[in-house]
Amino acid sequence: MSNQKEKLFTDFPPVSTEEWMEVITKDLKGADFQKRLVWRTNEGFNVNPFYRAEDIEGLLSAENLPGQFPYVRSTRKDNVWYVRQDIDVNDYAEANKKALSLLEKGVTSFGFHLPKNNLSAENLELLLKG
Protein backbone atom coordinates (compact mmCIF):
# COMPACT_ATOMS: atom_id res chain seq x y z
CA MET A 1 0.00 0.00 0.00
CA SER A 2 1.33 3.42 -0.94
CA ASN A 3 1.90 6.11 1.67
CA GLN A 4 1.42 8.86 -0.92
CA LYS A 5 -1.90 10.67 -1.05
CA GLU A 6 -3.68 10.54 -4.37
CA LYS A 7 -4.14 13.95 -5.94
CA LEU A 8 -7.74 14.59 -6.81
CA PHE A 9 -8.98 16.24 -9.99
CA THR A 10 -5.79 15.67 -12.02
CA ASP A 11 -7.99 15.11 -15.08
CA PHE A 12 -9.07 18.75 -15.04
CA PRO A 13 -6.96 21.69 -16.21
CA PRO A 14 -6.00 24.29 -13.60
CA VAL A 15 -8.22 27.38 -13.38
CA SER A 16 -6.81 30.80 -12.54
CA THR A 17 -8.31 33.15 -9.97
CA GLU A 18 -9.16 35.55 -12.80
CA GLU A 19 -11.15 32.82 -14.56
CA TRP A 20 -13.03 32.03 -11.33
CA MET A 21 -13.84 35.70 -10.82
CA GLU A 22 -15.09 36.08 -14.41
CA VAL A 23 -17.55 33.21 -13.95
CA ILE A 24 -18.63 34.44 -10.51
CA THR A 25 -19.17 37.99 -11.80
CA LYS A 26 -21.25 36.65 -14.67
CA ASP A 27 -23.32 34.45 -12.30
CA LEU A 28 -23.93 37.38 -9.94
CA LYS A 29 -25.60 39.31 -12.79
CA GLY A 30 -24.52 42.70 -11.49
CA ALA A 31 -24.96 41.96 -7.77
CA ASP A 32 -22.21 43.17 -5.45
CA PHE A 33 -19.60 40.43 -4.82
CA GLN A 34 -18.75 41.72 -1.32
CA LYS A 35 -22.37 41.93 -0.21
CA ARG A 36 -23.54 38.64 -1.71
CA LEU A 37 -20.62 36.28 -1.20
CA VAL A 38 -18.23 37.61 1.45
CA TRP A 39 -19.29 36.75 4.98
CA ARG A 40 -18.28 39.12 7.78
CA THR A 41 -17.89 37.40 11.15
CA ASN A 42 -18.95 38.94 14.46
CA GLU A 43 -15.25 39.49 15.15
CA GLY A 44 -14.92 41.63 12.02
CA PHE A 45 -13.13 39.16 9.75
CA ASN A 46 -14.09 38.76 6.11
CA VAL A 47 -14.52 35.15 4.97
CA ASN A 48 -14.26 34.86 1.21
CA PRO A 49 -16.32 32.34 -0.77
CA PHE A 50 -13.17 30.59 -1.98
CA TYR A 51 -9.45 30.58 -1.29
CA ARG A 52 -6.47 29.69 -3.44
CA ALA A 53 -2.90 28.63 -2.72
CA GLU A 54 -1.76 32.14 -3.70
CA ASP A 55 -3.74 33.55 -0.76
CA ILE A 56 -1.24 32.09 1.72
CA GLU A 57 1.93 32.95 -0.19
CA GLY A 58 4.23 34.94 2.04
CA LEU A 59 2.54 33.91 5.28
CA LEU A 60 5.29 32.83 7.65
CA SER A 61 2.88 30.70 9.65
CA ALA A 62 2.50 28.34 6.68
CA GLU A 63 6.17 27.42 7.03
CA ASN A 64 5.92 26.49 10.71
CA LEU A 65 5.14 23.03 11.95
CA PRO A 66 2.30 22.33 14.37
CA GLY A 67 3.34 23.13 17.94
CA GLN A 68 6.03 25.64 16.94
CA PHE A 69 6.08 29.40 17.48
CA PRO A 70 3.99 31.48 16.66
CA TYR A 71 1.52 28.69 17.56
CA VAL A 72 -1.02 29.43 14.86
CA ARG A 73 -1.35 25.78 13.92
CA SER A 74 -2.62 22.94 16.03
CA THR A 75 -0.27 20.48 17.67
CA ARG A 76 -1.94 17.70 15.69
CA LYS A 77 -1.04 16.73 12.18
CA ASP A 78 -4.58 15.61 11.38
CA ASN A 79 -8.11 16.51 12.37
CA VAL A 80 -9.64 14.27 14.98
CA TRP A 81 -13.23 15.41 14.85
CA TYR A 82 -16.00 14.33 17.16
CA VAL A 83 -19.45 13.77 15.75
CA ARG A 84 -21.63 14.96 18.63
CA GLN A 85 -25.29 14.41 19.34
CA ASP A 86 -27.23 15.75 22.32
CA ILE A 87 -29.99 13.58 23.77
CA ASP A 88 -32.78 14.81 26.02
CA VAL A 89 -33.27 12.08 28.62
CA ASN A 90 -36.87 11.58 29.67
CA ASP A 91 -36.69 7.79 29.78
CA TYR A 92 -33.26 6.30 30.57
CA ALA A 93 -33.84 3.04 28.68
CA GLU A 94 -35.07 4.89 25.57
CA ALA A 95 -32.16 7.33 25.71
CA ASN A 96 -29.76 4.38 25.94
CA LYS A 97 -31.43 2.73 22.96
CA LYS A 98 -31.16 5.97 20.97
CA ALA A 99 -27.49 6.42 21.90
CA LEU A 100 -26.61 2.86 20.85
CA SER A 101 -28.40 3.39 17.53
CA LEU A 102 -26.53 6.65 16.96
CA LEU A 103 -23.20 4.97 17.76
CA GLU A 104 -23.86 2.53 14.93
CA LYS A 105 -24.46 5.51 12.63
CA GLY A 106 -21.10 7.12 13.40
CA VAL A 107 -21.76 9.43 16.35
CA THR A 108 -18.66 9.56 18.58
CA SER A 109 -19.68 11.97 21.35
CA PHE A 110 -22.86 12.46 23.37
CA GLY A 111 -24.30 15.15 25.56
CA PHE A 112 -27.06 13.81 27.78
CA HIS A 113 -29.55 16.35 29.13
CA LEU A 114 -30.57 14.66 32.37
CA PRO A 115 -33.69 15.33 34.44
CA LYS A 116 -32.93 16.67 37.92
CA ASN A 117 -35.75 14.86 39.64
CA ASN A 118 -34.89 11.26 38.71
CA LEU A 119 -31.10 11.14 38.81
CA SER A 120 -29.64 8.04 40.45
CA ALA A 121 -26.69 5.69 40.06
CA GLU A 122 -29.03 2.99 38.76
CA ASN A 123 -30.48 5.28 36.10
CA LEU A 124 -27.01 6.40 35.00
CA GLU A 125 -25.93 2.77 34.78
CA LEU A 126 -28.98 2.04 32.62
CA LEU A 127 -28.25 5.06 30.42
CA LEU A 128 -24.62 4.03 29.82
CA LYS A 129 -25.24 0.29 29.42
CA GLY A 130 -23.77 -1.32 26.31
Residue 21: predicted pLDDT: 94
Residue 112 clears pLDDT 90, i.e. is over it: yes
d(CA 92, CA 14): 55
Model confidence at 61, pLDDT cuts 50, 70, 90, reads: confident
Residue 127: predicted pLDDT: 95
Residue 5 clears pLDDT 90, i.e. is over it: no
Neighbours of 23 (CB within 10 A): 10
Residue 113 lies in a domain: yes
d(CA 122, CA 2): 50
Residue 66 lies in a domain: no
Residue 54 clears pLDDT 80, i.e. is over it: yes
Q: Domain total for the chain?
A: 2
Residue 11 lies in a domain: no
Residue 32, domain extent: 17-59
Per residue in 66-111, pLDDT tens?
777 777 777 766 677 899 999 999 999 999 999 999 999 999 999 9
Residue 55 lies in a domain: yes
Residue 109: predicted pLDDT: 96
Residue 6 lies in a domain: no
Residue 73 lies in a domain: no
Residue 74 lies in a domain: no
Residue 25 lies in a domain: yes
Please give the model's pTM, rounded to 2 decimal places: 0.45
